[in-house]
Amino acid sequence: MAQKAFASSTDLAEKEQSLEVLADGVYALTAEGDPNVGAIEGEDFLVCFEAMATPVAARQWLARLRSHTNKPVRFLVLSHYHAVRVLGASAFDADVIVAHDNTRTLIAERGHQDWASELARMPRLFKEPESIPGLTWPTATFSDRFTIDLGGDRGECVLAYCGRGHTDGDIVAWLPRQRILFAGDLVEAQAALYTGDAYHRDWSASTLDKVASLGAETLVGGRGAVTHGGSGVANAIAQTRHFLHVMLREVDSVRERGGTLKQAFDATHAALVDRYGGWPIFEHCLPFNVSRLWDELSGIDRPRIWTAERDREVWDQLQD
Ligand SMILES: [Zn+2]
């Protein structure tokens, strides 16, 4: 059988972007399974959520946003350290770039390797990669909660840490008044999960419990369409949890019977493919996901750093 093309390296067809107004002054840009971004209007400023992969890609998003509002970007919120979420930051000209404490640590520790890895995995997202001026550094970080008063009668935007999940530094942006949640990659709606840097056990239990406890009625996940309504939000969270539970069950059972990583991959693929195989980036993510989960269950607490070379090794070992 011909080997599958590496990650999303041959997924080069442009995705259609849709700008949705979720409430007065609250915007989401989704793109058929490509990373989602958002923006929230304060009285005289903007909070932008996620920065896209390059300044050129970010400027296209800002150009669309500018047909709704001309307010300057005071806060740029980075949900986590992954390159496709952060490297477009310079386009926003933000006063403050906010992230979790652990995100700053991860950028310092593995930001360059992650950049090279993601560029090779998802070249389409890196529009004009030479426009990236360097790593993105948060200018304000926090451990638990960071509240932005939106001014006027707009309420507040609460940035919250819900525990270890997709990485150990994911944060969500929560609008209690509008009950809208920007969940980053902690929740995906009809898109496959990437768990190559994850803490599966925490994510599938206490972290998603905390996300669910917010009681969102609109949810913008990391990828996929905006989810509307309390039951839709519950479904998106349940789907994310189910994906993680199946992975945990399959990889654990192969390990328990003394099997190999390749067998764990095959078993996990077989268990997930009927329900999730058609969703964006499923085939791309799974080798990296199973490799990380195998490590986690072997007692390796901190995810090993993905490099462009290690990506290819794991891919060649598992995805054939
Ligand atoms: Zn991510």
User: Do residues 182 and 223 lie in contact, with contact meaning Cβ atoms separated by under 8 Å?
Assistant: no
Chain mean position to CA 158: 18
In this structure, how many other beta carbons lie within 10 angstroms of the beta carbon of residue 2? 5
73-77/46-49 β-pairing = parallel
Tell how far the Cα of 41 is from the centroid of ligand 1, in angstroms.
25
Q: What is the average pLDDT across 307-315?
A: 94
> In the predicted model, is pLDDT for residue 20 greater than 80?
yes
Q: What is the mean pLDDT of the chain?
A: 96
Tell how far the Cα of 219 is from the centroid of ligand 1, in angstroms.
17
Both tokens of residue 129?
A: 């990669």
Q: Which residues pair with 75 in a beta bridge?
A: 47, 96
- Strand ranges for 51-166 from DSSP E: 73-77, 96-100, 140-142, 145-149, 156-161
Tell how far the Cα of 118 is from the centroid of ligand 1, in angstroms.
10
Chain mean position to CA 13: 21
Residues 6 or more apart whose CB falls under 8 angstroms from that of 261 comprise: 290, 291, 294, 317, 318
Query: In this structure, what DSSP letter does residue 92 have?
Result: G
Tell how far the Cα of 185 is from the centroid of ligand 1, in angstroms.
6
Tell how far the Cα of 153 is from the centroid of ligand 1, in angstroms.
33
User: Do residues 37 and 184 lie in contact, with contact meaning Cβ atoms separated by under 8 Å?
Assistant: no
Whole-number pLDDT of residue 144:
98
> In the predicted model, is pLDDT for residue 1 greater than 60?
no
Both tokens of residue 312?
A: 């290819």
Tell how far the Cα of 197 is from the centroid of ligand 1, in angstroms.
8
Give 61-77 as a 3 state SS string: HHHHHCCCCCCCEEEEE
User: Do residues 67 and 29 lie in contact, with contact meaning Cβ atoms separated by under 8 Å?
Assistant: no
Q: What is the average pLDDT across 246-267?
A: 98
> In the predicted model, is pLDDT for residue 245 greater than 60?
yes
Q: What is the average pLDDT across 195-222?
A: 98
Tell how far the Cα of 166 is from the centroid of ligand 1, in angstroms.
7
Put the strands of the sheet holding 34-41 in their side by side order: 18-23, 26-31, 34-41, 46-49, 73-77, 96-100, 140-142
For 279-300, the pLDDT digits (tens) are 888 999 999 999 999 999 999 9
Tell how far the Cα of 43 is from the centroid of ligand 1, in angstroms.
30
Q: pLDDT class for 5, splitting at 50, 70, 90?
A: confident
Tell how far the Cα of 222 is from the centroid of ligand 1, in angstroms.
8
Tell how far the Cα of 44 is from the centroid of ligand 1, in angstroms.
30
For 158-204, the pLDDT digits (tens) are 999 999 999 999 999 999 999 999 999 999 988 899 999 999 999 99
For 84-127, the pLDDT digits (tens) are 999 999 999 999 999 999 999 999 999 999 999 999 999 999 99
For 31-83, the pLDDT digits (tens) are 988 999 999 999 999 999 999 999 999 999 999 999 999 999 999 999 999 99
Angle at 234 between CA 228 and CA 238, to 5 degrees: 130
Whole-number pLDDT of residue 6:
85
Tell how far the Cα of 1 is from the centroid of ligand 1, in angstroms.
31
Tell how far the Cα of 194 is from the centroid of ligand 1, in angstroms.
7
Q: What is the average pLDDT across 227-236?
A: 97
